[in-house]
């Protein structure tokens, strides 16, 4: 299955154009600027100045270019490799939780046929490597050796450097530890110490990367977030259902300093909150954002940019196929979530579900895009694998019953 997926992934690269879009084009262009000694920002309100945390992935891209040259194909093939390794980790996680090879294989199958999940490999995308590192972190934390917890701290830090959603993962890990690891009839100090080791390693590595980027002169702000307000400006906009909208961008004078722009953003946020309160629009907003994030067709195919080299008929067919993968995850995911009340499983499943739930909750407030589901689609696929296994087992039992009559 992994070999087949890797070959399909390579075919997808050939099927799609190489042109980089949106933020991915920024990563690609600025990485080459940096390697040639040019600054990656001019004002304190430019992309890498206000969202300095993206510099971590920029350094990764710079390293790849330094090793292999400015060939975007290298990054694309690496994306396919990370996707393939993610499938392997999903198999390992499902086996660790359910000890059922059929559930594990079906989870992998559902993930690998979800074109919405793997469609963005042609883009210079930090989601796939970040996802892999976070999933490896969860897998390591399901073991009991100290070296597992040490490595988990390393992968958690590197995952957050590459794809800055580490706080969501940390929140889920902490809640899981409090509920299932720290107390079992009496306080388990050994488990507390193990998790402390993980977070100490995480803080050391993450801080070291930030200091290294600062001292190198690449970004004076390290890997900090100096514009956390923006995600709420877009995320709380009822008129756009929390999706990025250029009209919202144009309503704020982005040519001013970060301090002045921040004041404008806070003003917009307060206006949006007042509107939601006065018109009782919180629930409709959340409902629409959940649909955009987890049920509607994602923008992954749009970012694959196949309209550039294929007809509308082909684009329509690809969109249909990609959305069918999401439909399967939705249907079997619901069935699987209900089956969890009936079947036995390892408590480590909550090490996946709690960060997933935290991610869902955060997305209710900040900007949403369908492509942002990439990070937790593998967890979703494991739950869907339970649903598909339950349906197939029920069908097989009915068939055996009919044959015995």
> Tens digits of per-residue pLDDT, 185-207?
677 788 889 999 999 999 999 99
CA distances from 39 to 23, 30, 195, 216 (A): 17, 8, 39, 12
Q: Residue 395: what pLDDT?
A: 87
CA distances from 166 to 38, 150, 179 (A): 29, 16, 20
Mean confidence (pLDDT) of the chain: 91
Residues 367 and 231: beta-carbon distance below 8 Å: yes
Q: Residue 344: what pLDDT?
A: 82
Q: Residue 208: what pLDDT?
A: 96
- Bridge partners (DSSP) listed for residue 186: 184
Q: Residue 405: what pLDDT?
A: 55
Q: Residue 396: what pLDDT?
A: 83
Rounded Cα gap, residues 257 and 43, in angstroms: 8
Residue in 103, 193, 205 with CA at minimum distance from that of residue 145 = 193
- Give, as one character, the DSSP assignment of residue 184: E
Local structure of 297: helix, strand or coil: coil
Q: What is the mean pLDDT of each run of 10 residues along the chain (405 residues)?
A: 94 90 90 92 89 94 94 95 97 95 96 92 93 96 92 96 92 90 77 91 95 93 90 91 83 83 90 93 94 86 86 89 91 93 88 94 90 92 95 83 63
How would you classify the pairing of strands 186-187 and 183-184? antiparallel
**E strand residue ranges, 145-282:** 183-184, 186-187
Q: Residue 370: what pLDDT?
A: 84
Q: Residue 311: what pLDDT?
A: 87
Structure tokens at 8: 């399909």
């Amino acid at each position: 299955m992994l070999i087949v997926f890797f070959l399909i992934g390579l075919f997808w690269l050939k099927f799609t154009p190489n042109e980089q879009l949106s933020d991915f084009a920024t990563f690609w262009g600025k990485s080459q600027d940096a390697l040639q000694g040019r600054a990656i920002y001019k004002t304190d309100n430019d992309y890498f100045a206000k969202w300095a945390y993206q510099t971590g992935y920029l350094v990764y891209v710079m390293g790849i270019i330094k090793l292999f040259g400015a060939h975007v194909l290298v990054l694309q093939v690496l994306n396919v490799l990370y996707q393939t390794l993610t499938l392997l980790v999903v198999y390992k996680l499902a086996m660790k939780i359910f000890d059922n090879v059929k559930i594990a294989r079906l989870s992998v199958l559902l993930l690998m046929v979800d074109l919405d999940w793997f469609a963005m490999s042609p883009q210079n995308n930090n989601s796939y490597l970040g996802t892999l590192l976070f999933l490896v972190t969860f897998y390591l934390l399901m073991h009991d050796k100290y070296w597992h917890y040490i490595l988990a701290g390393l992968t958690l830090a590197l995952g957050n450097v590459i794809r800055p959603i580490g706080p969501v993962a940390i929140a889920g890990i902490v809640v899981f530890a409090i509920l299932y690891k720290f107390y079992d009839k009496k306080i388990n100090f050994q488990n507390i110490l193990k998790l402390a080791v993980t977070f100490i390693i995480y803080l050391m590595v993450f801080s070291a990367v930030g200091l290294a980027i600062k001292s190198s002169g690449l970004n004076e702000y390290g890997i900090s977030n100096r514009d956390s307000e923006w995600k709420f400006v877009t995320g709380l906009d009822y008129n756009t259902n929390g999706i990025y909208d250029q009209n919202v961008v144009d309503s704020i004078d982005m040519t001013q300093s970060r301090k002045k722009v921040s004041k404008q953003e806070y003003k917009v946020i307060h206006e949006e909150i007042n509107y939601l309160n006065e018109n009782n629009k919180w629930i409709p907003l959340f409902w629409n954002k959940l649909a955009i994030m987890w049920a509607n067709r994602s923008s992954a195919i749009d970012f694959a940019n196949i309209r550039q080299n294929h007809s509308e008929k082909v684009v329509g067919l690809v969109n249909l196929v990609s959305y069918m993968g999401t439909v399967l995850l939705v249907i079997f995911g619901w069935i699987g979530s209900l089956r969890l009340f009936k079947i036995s499983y390892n408590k480590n499943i909550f090490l996946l579900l709690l960060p997933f739930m935290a991610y869902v909750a955060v997305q209710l407030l900040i900007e949403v895009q369908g492509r942002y589901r990439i990070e937790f689609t593998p967890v979703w696929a494991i739950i869907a694998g339970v649903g598909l296994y339950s349906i197939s087992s029920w069908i097989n039992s009915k068939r055996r019953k009919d044959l015995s009559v």
